[in-house]
Amino acid sequence: MIRPTGIINFAVGEWGMVGAFGGFLLLSKFEWPYPVGMVAILAFMLIVGWATERVAVRPLVEKGAPLLAPILALLGMLVVFRESISLAFGPDPHQVPEPLGFEHQKTWMIAVTLGVFAAAWLFFEKTLWGKSFEAVSLNRKAAALVGINLSRVTAVSFAGGAGVAGLAGLLIAPNTSAHYLMGVPLAIQGFTALVIGGVGRVEGALLGGLLVAFAEQLTVRYAPIPSGYAQGVPLLVLMLFLLVRPSGLLRARA
């Protein structure tokens, strides 16, 4: 969920939801083997992300609309995604299977997350493509001047973001089951992790995610408050971070 484009995407949680429903459709209903289903979902999500960018972002960027316009358009897309899913699958939650059985689900989630993290880190730190993403996030004009294709970077980042978000949705779907309202809480958790860790750093997202999860679990276990309030802890942390240190724990490299 890293946005070198400066456009923060409210639809990211809905991508996760689409991924989860993809899991339900392919794995539960059609009973495809897990690896095939996973690759199919990943490919589908890449297309969804690319299409989202085409429809809701590129026309606005080309028109020179203010930066806020695509963000709001994506908010509209959020509702479109969610309602399409609820129209197609109905409002009831659906079961998504675990690949390795219930007891290994956590291991599997950690493994895939680490895999995605490693891939993202390698991509951003070690490849020319990744460097060009960082250049765009630091200074769009200068990046365009040295010959980076801005609209291609934007398109790839949306496709990649949707791919990762779809995988995330697929991963947590066995625990939470696929539901058409799952997107917004997912997005808020993601944003919280991102803001705490530091926007625009791959390590930041991982660190932030871990911190949020720990904070929530520790308050459930040790803090003298009812467990329902624990849902509020990440939100409170998010607000505090935004107000006190919006750049996050790890600063983007200058």
By the rule CB under 8 A, 101 interacts with other proteins: no
How near is the Cβ of 80 to other proteins at its closest, in Å? 4
Q: 3-state SS string over the chain?
A: CCCCCCCCCCCHHHHHHHHHHHHHHHHHHCCCCHHHHHHHHHHHHHHHHHHHHHHHHHHHHHHCCCCHHHHHHHHHHHHHHHHHHHHHHCCCCECCCCCCCHHHHHHHHHHHHHHHHHHHHHHHHHCHHHHHHHHHHHCHHHHHHCCCCHHHHHHHHHHHHHHHHHHHHHHHHHHHCECCCCHHHHHHHHHHHHHHHCCCCHHHHHHHHHHHHHHHHHHHHHCCCCHHHHCHHHHHHHHHHHHHCCCCCCCCCC
| CB closer to other proteins out of 27 and 57 | 57
By the rule CB under 8 A, 223 interacts with other proteins: no
> Can you tell me the distance from the alpha carbon of 170 to that of 194, in angstroms, rounded to the nearest whole number?
20
By the rule CB under 8 A, 201 interacts with other proteins: no
How near is the Cβ of 10 to other proteins at its closest, in Å? 8
Q: Which residues touch 253 (CB under 8 Å, ≥6 apart)?
A: 201
By the rule CB under 8 A, 232 interacts with other proteins: yes
Please give the structure tokens belonging to residue 132: 């060009």
How near is the Cβ of 47 to other proteins at its closest, in Å? 18
By the rule CB under 8 A, 109 interacts with other proteins: no
Burial 48-63 (b: 16+ CB within 10 A, else e): bbbebbeebbbebbee
By the rule CB under 8 A, 84 interacts with other proteins: yes
Selected binder of other proteins within 75, 111, 122, 223 (CB under 8 A): 75
By the rule CB under 8 A, 110 interacts with other proteins: no
How near is the Cβ of 78 to other proteins at its closest, in Å? 7
- Site for other proteins, residues 30 to 69, rule: CB under 8 A: 55-56, 59-60, 65, 67-69
Selected binder of other proteins within 51, 61, 80, 144 (CB under 8 A): 80
| CB closer to other proteins out of 38 and 219 | 219
Q: Per-residue string for binding with other proteins, 131-150, x by CB under 8 A?
A: --------------------
| CB closer to other proteins out of 72 and 135 | 72
| CB closer to other proteins out of 26 and 187 | 187
Selected binder of other proteins within 33, 125, 229, 251 (CB under 8 A): 229
Backbone angle region of 94, left / alpha / beta, with phi > 0 → left and psi within -120 to 50 → alpha? beta
Binding site residues, other proteins, CB under 8 A: 8, 55-56, 59-60, 65, 67-69, 71-73, 75-80, 82-84, 86-87, 184, 188, 191-192, 195, 226, 228-229, 231-232, 235-236, 238-239, 242-244, 246
